Copies of this chain bind each other. A is one copy, B any other.
Amino acid sequence: MSVYQAPLRDMQLLVEQALHKSGLANCSGLEEFDSDLVSAVLEEAGKFASGELAPLNTVGDAEGCRFENGRVTTPPGWKDAYRQFCEAGWMGLALPAEYGGQSLPKFIAQPVNEMWLSANLAFVMFHALAQGGSEILLHFGTDEQKQRYLEPIITGRWTVAMALTEPGAGSDLGALTTKAIPGRDGSYLIKGQKIYITYGDHDMAENIVHLVLARTPDAPAGSRGISLFAVPKFRIGNDGRPGESNDLVCTGIEHKTGLHGSPTCSISYGDNDNCYGELIGHENRGLEAMFVLMNEARLSCGMQGVGLGEAGFQRAQAYALERIQGTDAVNGGGRTAIAHHPDVARMLLSIRSEVMGLRGLGYLIAALIDKAEHTDHADERKTLQARIALLTPVFKAYATEKANLMAGTTIQVFGGMGFVEETGVAQLMRDARITTIYEGTTGIQARDLVFRKIKADGGEALLHLLAEIDQDTEQFHADNPFGPHLRQNASAVRQAVEIINSAANHSLALNAGGVPFLEALGKLCCAWQLACTANTAIKREHENPQYYRNLRALADYYFAFTVPHIAAHLTTFRHADRGVAEYRFEP
């Protein structure tokens, strides 16, 4: 049963909002990507998501992947869907046409990605890896490496796997011990054990390019001694085709609470001291290269939050409109669909408002990336890149934290039926659970935000964002009531920036208060997006009264139910050493 329909109207509206807010709408060189093209792409992608991917989502969850004799078998239907996905050109949508992609801008690719993530997150995990892997090669690969790897990856003949984590090196990549011994021909021999490798092995493509972090013999300790290697599952012959097996073996897959359809592999590299790898970029600068992929992956995680939220909302709303139970306590009358119970409406709106705010933010970041690429002004590019860097950890962490809450709320709307696996919504909760962990936990995003994205530039990028929020409110329609609330909360965040700037790096309050601060900023960003959407809705109400009134109501809801917590988070942030300073954990 395909239960997902791409929310095309919402998507188009927020693409338009992102184009406008990023300034991309006035940017030359993108004229061909007009609203007709956007509509056509989104419509086509929507059909593929509903028709091909969504029906496989519960299959993947129920059947999972199998591991036998060092080989991973994906769930029934996976392989065929993968072939179709590649043949339709979805893999390389936003990758260079030169290597087989479609060169579409990210502002179009982002809603398309959202559809895949809503329809079947476990399946489509390979996609962000291909995207990020390609960008690494485009940035850091030699011409020869680009020729060798990019076309097969972008067309989906080969997939990308990202081998970072080791049993003793998770969040702390600097502790990894996998070795890379240089050979005479310029290649390296890789040796080590890696875990948690998504699609580290599978049966869908003819080769797998492992991007492996490892240390050369004389590398400095810690994160400044890590290099990045491309390690193909099958060595690549002179004809560019996969040939003999490389010396790497999948030793098992994890039995996870969610994402059953996505194999999470342990891989042993170089058991026979013959695992070929080639250096990508410079020795000891592997983390820098990996972070290109990591940033891509973090944005994808944020979109996973949006996608899972939307998938949950659609199911919860459909059920709540259909399930008759009790009577309407406010309007009277006979038995009613539960959507008309105020508390159920509250739950549905909590999901929908969060999804719309986060979607606005996710699309905006995509448009900012396009803008940074298309601008001719170095200063503007720098400012845009700082904005993107600032918003990335907020979007990653806030969207995924909310994805967990939204999945819980979706189950709650279904009541007892939500707890029964066949209903399908428990899977959302189980799948969502990893999103706050992988690609950097929420705590790590908060550190990144507070220290690298705010403190390191004296808060400039954030103050610039807050000023823009203020400016936006000045342009609000006379009937838009959200300006003063936004300005007041932006001002409260501004005061927190002063605290961040004046505190020492080792301040306990700063270190313990990162997540509450990120929660405050995440809510402010969503409130900003929702208020802007409401502004459009107010102006266009006559075009489609119910739709636009609903969009305005979402902002109303969010400012009443969620925005009041911004001040609470910031109060916490100011006192975040309390209790943490005195408590001693003991076994």
A→B interface (CB under 8 Å): 165, 168-172, 175, 195-196, 254-258, 317-318, 320-321, 324-326, 329-332, 335, 339, 341-349, 353, 404, 408, 411-412, 415-416, 418-422, 426, 429-430, 433-434, 436-438, 441-443, 446-447, 505-508, 511-512, 514-516, 546, 549-550, 552-561, 564-565, 567-569, 571-572, 575-576, 578-587
A174 nearest CB neighbor, chain B only: B326
When the two chains form their complex, are residues A346 and B561 in contact, meaning their CB atoms are under 8 A apart? no
Q: Once bound together, how far apart are the Cα atoms of A569 and B437, in whole Å?
A: 28
A551 to chain B, nearest CB (A): 9
When the two chains form their complex, are residues B418 and A437 in contact, meaning their CB atoms are under 8 A apart? yes
A429 to chain B: which residues have CB within 8 Å? 257, 429, 433
A20 to chain B, nearest CB (A): 24
A557 nearest CB neighbor, chain B only: B579
When the two chains form their complex, are residues B318 and A587 in contact, meaning their CB atoms are under 8 A apart? yes
A447 to chain B: which residues have CB within 8 Å? 329, 343
A332 nearest CB neighbor, chain B only: B506
A567 to chain B: which residues have CB within 8 Å? 564, 567-568
The one of B196, B318, B349, B511 that contacts A342, using a Cβ cutoff of 8 Å: B511
Q: Once bound together, how far apart are the Cα atoms of A256 and B169, in whole Å?
A: 35
Q: Once bound together, how far apart are the Cα atoms of A251 and B317, in whole Å?
A: 30
The verdict on A579 contacting B565 (CB below 8 Å), with A172-B325, A343-B446, A348-B585 known, is: no
Q: Once bound together, how far apart are the Cα atoms of A323 and B571, in whole Å?
A: 31
A507 to chain B: which residues have CB within 8 Å? 330
When the two chains form their complex, are residues B511 and A330 in contact, meaning their CB atoms are under 8 A apart? yes
A407 to chain B, nearest CB (A): 10
When the two chains form their complex, are residues B430 and A257 in contact, meaning their CB atoms are under 8 A apart? yes
A552 to chain B: which residues have CB within 8 Å? 582
Chain B CB within 10 A, most for which of A324, A426, A446: A426
A175 to chain B: which residues have CB within 8 Å? 325, 335
When the two chains form their complex, are residues B516 and A561 in contact, meaning their CB atoms are under 8 A apart? yes
When the two chains form their complex, are residues B443 and A344 in contact, meaning their CB atoms are under 8 A apart? yes
The one of B196, B325, B411, B561 that contacts A170, using a Cβ cutoff of 8 Å: B325
Kindly list 14 other residue pairs between chains A and B, CB separation below 8 angstroms, not including A256-B421, A342-B511, A560-B571: A195-B416, A318-B587, A320-B585, A332-B506, A345-B580, A346-B515, A412-B437, A416-B437, A419-B437, A549-B582, A550-B584, A553-B583, A560-B576, A565-B565
When the two chains form their complex, are residues B505 and A329 in contact, meaning their CB atoms are under 8 A apart? yes
Q: Once bound together, how far apart are the Cα atoms of A195 and B195, in whole Å?
A: 43
Q: Once bound together, how far apart are the Cα atoms of A420 and B256, in whole Å?
A: 4
When the two chains form their complex, are residues B421 and A437 in contact, meaning their CB atoms are under 8 A apart? no
When the two chains form their complex, are residues B254 and A321 in contact, meaning their CB atoms are under 8 A apart? no
The verdict on A512 contacting B345 (CB below 8 Å), with A171-B415, A585-B320, A585-B321 known, is: yes
